[in-house]
Structure 1
Amino acid sequence: MPPHPNSHLLRRGRYSEPGRGYLITTVVHQRRRMFADWRLGRLLVEKFRRAHDQKWINSMAWVIMPDHFHWLIQLEQQTLAKLMQAIKSRSTLTINRAINERGAFWQTGYHDRAIRDGEDLLPFARYIVANPLRAGLVDKIGDYPLWDACWL
C-alpha cells in the first residue's frame, strides 16, 4: 500500500476567490497523534491567529484533532495555496523545534471545500466544533481545549 493512499484525491491547482468561505482540512504526516498533546496544538493556534491578524483570512471556526485540523475561513488577502504553505511550513518549524525533531510534519496537500454564496456558515462551524464529540474524545465540547468559533 502506498504511504499516503488517499493523497491522489487531493486536488491541485485550486482557484482562490477573495471573500469566499472555505472549509480546510489537513492531516499530520503518517497520521501521528501529535496534537493529543494540547500544548503542541496551541503552537498551531498561534499560526492561525497570525494569518487572521495579518488579514490574510477571516478565521471563523477551527478544531485541532489529535492527527488533523479543520478550519473554516474566509479568504481576504491571500490565496489558499499561499495560506496553507505558510501555515504548514511555519507550524512545522515551530512544532519540530518544540519536540526536537526534523523533517515532515504534515501530509502532502490538503482538502478544501468552497462554501457557495448564500450558504449558511453556521452548520459548517457546528460540524467542525463537534468533531471531538463525534470522535469520543470528550462528553462536552467545553472540555476540549483546541477549538474556537467566532459565534461565541
Structure 2
Amino acid sequence: MPRKPRVFVVGGAYHVYCRAGRGEPPFAEDATAALFVETLERVKIEHGLTILAWCLMPDHYHLVVRSGELPLWRSMRLVQGRFSKALNRRDRGFGPFWQGRCKARIIEDRKHLMQAIAYVHLNPVAGGLTDDPAHHQWSGHRQVIGRARKGLVDVDETLLVFGKRRESARRGYLAVLGQGREEGWLGAVPGGLPWWRHSRGGDEELRPDPTRPAMDWLGVAVRPAPPKADARGVARAVARELGVGVRALGGRHRGAELGRARELVMLVGVERCGLKVNDLARVIGRVPGSASRIYG
C-alpha cells in the first residue's frame, strides 16, 4: 500500500526524528556523530533551514527545524541519504542505514514549540545518559544557554520563541526545561507528545501562492515572491555561489561538488522558480530523465 504524501508548509516549524535501522547504537561513536552533524550542517546551509533544537542519541536523532523554501522532506532525505553514503564509504559497508524516512510533525502554536525544544534538549536526560543536558556533547543545549559559541542552532531564533530579550529568553527557556522534567511528556515517545497528537493531518503537499510572500505559523513573511529567472540564470547563480564553473556544470565531469551543484540547480529551478525540467536539463548537460532523477 503506498504511503500517504505528507503536508509541508514553507517556513513551518517541525519536530523531526528518525532511528538507525542496523540494530546498533552508531551515534555512540564520536566520529559517526560528527559525520552526521557535518552532513546536517551542509544541508542546512544549502536549503536555508533554521535549526531551533537538535539532539543525537545513540541510535536516533531529534530536530526542531523551520523549513526553508524547499519542502522539508527533500532536505531531510538529502541529509539521511548523504550521511548513509558517507558512512558506507568510510566503513566499506552497504545497504540502508535508517529504519525508513524521517517522521515529522508541524508545530502549530508557541507553547508546543517551546515544549518541543525542551523535549529535544532533555532527551539525553530522559534516556538516562546524563542528569544535566549541558553534559551531553551532541545537542544544541549548550549553545542556547551561552556555553558554546558555534554549532547547528540558530540561537537568536530559538531564544525569540521564549522572549524578546536575550537573558530573559534564556531564563524562560530554562524554566520550560524545568517544567519538562516534571511533566509526563518528557519521557514519551513522539507519537504521544502533545504537538504530535494535535498536529494537522492531510493527504497532499501544500503549495503557497507563488505571487505572495510565504508566511510562517506566526504570520511572519519568510521569503519574498519568487524571482523571475531562466535556466541559465539559475545555473550561473548556483555556480557562482558554490565556486564551480558554469561550463563544468554542463559537461561530462563528475564529482561530489558538481553533483551537489547540479542537484541545487534542479531544486532551485523547479521548486523556487517554477522552471521546466527539460530547460534545466539542458544547462546541466543531462537528458530530462536523468535530470528528473537528480531532482528526485
TM-score above 0.5, yes or no: yes
Equivalent of residue 72 in structure 1, options 64, 70, 77: 64
SS at match of 1:121: helix
2:81 is aligned, of 89, 92, 105, to 89
Q: Is the 8 A contact 2:16 2:104 kept in 1?
A: yes
Instruction: Find the aligned partners of 1:65 and 1:128 in 2 and give their Cα distance.
Output: 10
Q: Which residue in 1 is equivalent to 2:52?
A: 60
Partner of 1:3: none
- Decide whether aligned partners of structure 1 residues 146 and 18 sit closer, same or farther in structure 2, where only a CA change above 3 A counts: same
The CA distance in 1 between the partners of 2:112 and 2:126, in whole Å, is: 22
* Structure 2 match to 1:5: none
Cα distance between partner residues in 1 of 2:47 and 2:81: 19
Match of 2:24 among 28, 32, 35: 32
Tell me the secondary structure at the aligned position of residue 63 of structure 2: strand
Q: What are the ranges of 5 or more consecutive residues in structure 1 without an aligned counterpart? A: 1-7
Alignment correspondent of 1:19? 11
Q: What is the CA-CA distance between 1:80 and the residue it aligns to?
A: 2.2
- Conservation of the 8 A alpha-carbon contact between 1:60 and 1:73: yes
Size of the aligned set, in residue pairs, is 143
- Amino acid across the alignment from 1:94: A
Separation of aligned partners in 2, 1:39 and 1:12: 35
The residue matched to 1:19 in structure 2 has which SS?
A: coil
* Gap regions ≥5 residues in structure 2: 141-152, 160-169, 171-296
Maintained 8 Å contact 2:47/2:75:
no
Compute the displacement of 1:107 (Å). Answer: 1.1
Question: Which protein, 1 or 2, shows the higher relative CO under an 8 Å CA cutoff with sep ≥ 6?
Answer: 1
**2:95: which partner in 1?**
103
CA distance in 2, matches of 1:128, 1:58: 15
Deviation at 1:118, TM superposition (A): 4.4
From the superposition, tell whether residues 118 and 141 of structure 1 become closer, same or farther in structure 2 (CA, over 3 Å): closer
Contact 2:77–2:101 (CA under 8 A) maintained in structure 1: no
- Could you tell me how far apart the structure 2 residues matched to 1:69 and 1:135 are? 12
With over 3 angstroms needed to count, the CA separation of the structure-2 counterparts of 1:42 and 1:12, relative to structure 1, is farther
What fraction of aligned residue pairs are identical, expressed as a percent?
25
Q: Tell me the equivalent position of 1:127.
A: 119
Q: Could you say what secondary structure the match of 1:15 adopts? A: coil
Match of 1:50 in 2: 42
Q: Relative to total residues, which structure has the larger strand share, 1 or 2?
A: 1
Q: Deviations over 1:76-119 (max 9, x none)?
A: 12212211210111010112222231111111122111011545
CA RMSD of superposed structures (Å): 2.0
Cα distance 1:82–1:141, how it changes in 2: closer, same or farther (>3 A)?
same
- Name the CA distance, whole Å, in 2 between partners of 1:144 and 1:119: 25
**Structure 1 position 120, deviation (Å):** 5.0
Partners of 1:23 and 1:128 in 2: CA distance: 9
For residues 134 and 43 of structure 1, the distance between their equivalents in structure 2, rounded to whole angstroms, comes to 24
Task: Provide runs of 4+ in structure 1 moved above 4 Å.
Answer: 117-120
